[in-house]
Amino acid sequence: MSSHYCPHTPEEMREMLAVIGVQSVEELFAPIPAELRAKTFNLPPGMSEFETFAAMQGIAADNQRDLSLFIGGGFYDHLIPAVVDHLAGRAEFYTAYTPYQPECSQGTLQALFEYQSAICRLTGLDVSNASLYDGATALAEGAMMALRVTNRHRLLVDGCINPFARKVLRTYLANLDVEIVELAPLDGLLNREELAAELDDRTAAVLVQYPNMFGCVEDFSAVAQEIHAAGGLLVTAAYPVALGILKSPAEMGADIAVGDGQSLGNPLSFGGPSFGFIAARKAFIRNMPGRIVGETVDKNGKRGFVLTLQAREQHIKRHKATSNICSNQSLCALRGLIFLTAIGKTGLADLARLNRDKAEYAKSVLATVPGVTVLQTAPTFNEFTVSLPKPAAPVVAALLEKGIAAGVPLGQYYEGAESLLVVTVTEKRSKVEIDLLARMLEEALCN
């Protein structure tokens, strides 16, 4: 019977089986030895799309979806212009696949070329690929790229980098011959003395992030000079919305820049899909992981776009490829491009300023809560760290019950940080919500 996206009628199936020369579909599975056949398989019976959607609504309702979000940790609650859903929602984009046949994939290819150009402009670097999985895996890929470029085996990692990204980095490199030296944060900043002590001519790269896990924004220009003098590279992870106003990775002297693109037009969606970006100096392009779109011309000299430098990739170079990545996060990167186009050149700077204004306001309000102090060691963007007069975890749990995700307690990620809380304030948080956060926090601290 024809059902759920399997269109054949019994009559058509009979005709097809006759052409093949078998009596039944079951005969086509004869190459699978009988003794290997499936024993159990217990999914529930199927249902219509209407019942399915209702069931999904039920599951969605079993989550608290209207929390007031003051949390970040790599994912940010930003506005998404309506055009992003509508344009990226065109089926010609989302039901296509990797543009291996360029003539009938110019839409995807040109869009990715425009995306790569946007990433180059944001980071100030020369070349970008067509996306990686997420920010954490992009950091790992950036580190591995630095290892290849320098042919060295040692990494210095700022402990202020997002703890999940550091964990992913360690997991990626666990089975390879690489020494990872993690530099414990000093008052929410890169420990530069320790860095100087550890930096040597075996170091492939220094890995840093800005704004960092504590929300602090540091200028790494001096670090870039030091690592370059030692013959290594600077790899920076950056928050792309912040790059609307902050010094670009290239201006700081970074050789490789990575980050998570969720904040550019991708919904929170419980952590994915988002996309990772990676950009680098042109000299390193052959060591880039993943797909790259390049400009060329057709037989008539007309501009067109193709996947290029594919000889780096797994489908040609197999075990010698620069990375194993095949599918990337193309549609999310397209959303990123559409977002950046809709917000635009001055818009991104305005958006960044708006985020900072909100966060600075929140800082000033939270500083008035008795017992709360704001970490003041460096300027911040839209996240900052506060110290509470008691452990942060139970306070956060108490506020969560009142519908406020008040921040990310750092005790779980840093030793001796039990009282520290990182508060994130995007443009979506209103003054009313910020004032309420302060009031609720004060209440929770009194109890």
Partner 1 sequence: MADIYFTKEHEWARVNGAIARIGISGHAAHELGDVTFVELPTVGKQVQQFEVLAAIESVKAASDIYAPLSGTVKAVNSALENEPEKVNESAEEAAWMVELEISNPAEVAQLMTREQYTDYLKTL
Partner 2 sequence: MQLIYEQSVPGRRGVMLPTSDVPLAPHLPVHLLRSEVAALPEVSELDMVRHFTNLSRRNFSVDTNFYPLGSCTMKYNAKVLENAANLFASLHPMTALLPGGSAVCQGALGMLYDLGQWLADVTGMDEVTTQPLAGAHGEMTGIMLIAAYHKAKGNRKKYVVVPDSSHGTNPASAAMVGYEIITIPTAPYGDMDLELYKQAMNNEVAAVMMTCPNTLGLFNPHIKEIADIAHSFDALMYYDGANLNAIMGKVRPGDVGFDVIHLNLHKTFGTPHGGGGPGAGPVGVKKGLAPFLPMPRIVLDEQSGDLLLELDNPATIGRTASFFGNFGVMVKAYAYMLMLGRAGLVQVSEQAVLNANYIKERLKPWYELPFDLTCMHECVFSASKQLAHGVHAIDIAKFLIDKGYHPPTVYFPLIVKEAIMIEPTETESKATLDAFIEVMIEAASLAESDPAAFADMPRTMPVTRLDETKAAREQQVCCSG
Q: Which does 99 bind (CB under 5 to 8 A by kind): partner 1, partner 2, none?
A: partner 2
161-200: contacts with partner 2 (CB under 8 A)? 162, 164-165, 167-168, 170-172, 174-177
250-309: contacts with partner 1 (CB under 8 A)? 286, 309
CA separation for the pair 400, 320 (Å, rounded): 48
The tokens describing 42, both together, are 């217990």
* Binding residue count for partner 1, defined by CB under 8 A: 8
Q: Which does 21 bind (CB under 5 to 8 A by kind): partner 2, partner 1, none?
A: partner 2
Q: Is 316 in the site for partner 1 (CB under 8 A)?
A: yes
CA separation for the pair 80, 72 (Å, rounded): 16
> What element of type H or E holds 235?
strand 233-238
Cα-flanking dihedrals φ and ψ of residue 184, to 5°? -65, 140
Question: Binding marks (x or -) toward partner 2, 214..243, rule CB under 8 A?
Answer: ---x-x-----------------------x
| Residues 6 or more apart whose Cβ sits within 8 Å of residue 283 | none
77-96: contacts with partner 1 (CB under 8 A)? none
Task: Tell whether the torsion through CA atoms of 22, 25, 26 and 28 is positive or negative.
Answer: positive
CA separation for the pair 371, 394 (Å, rounded): 16
CB of residue 368 to partner 2, shortest distance in Å: 15
The tokens describing 70, both together, are 């003051």
Q: Tell which one of 62, 301, 320, 401 touches partner 1 (CB under 8 A).
A: 320
CB of residue 132 to partner 1, shortest distance in Å: 21
CB of residue 104 to partner 2, shortest distance in Å: 4
Q: Is 283 in the site for partner 2 (CB under 8 A)?
A: no
Question: Binding marks (x or -) toward partner 2, 56..95, rule CB under 8 A?
Answer: xxxxxxxxxxxx-x-xxxxx-x-x-x-x--xx-xxxxxxx
Single-letter amino acid code for the residue at 163:
P
Q: Is 160 in the site for partner 2 (CB under 8 A)?
A: no
Contact call for residues 339 and 264 (beta carbons, < 8 A): yes
CA–CA distance from 219 to each of 281, 385, 420 (Å)? 19, 18, 23
CB of residue 6 to partner 1, shortest distance in Å: 37
DSSP for residue 284: G
18-37: contacts with partner 2 (CB under 8 A)? 19-21, 25, 28-33, 35-37
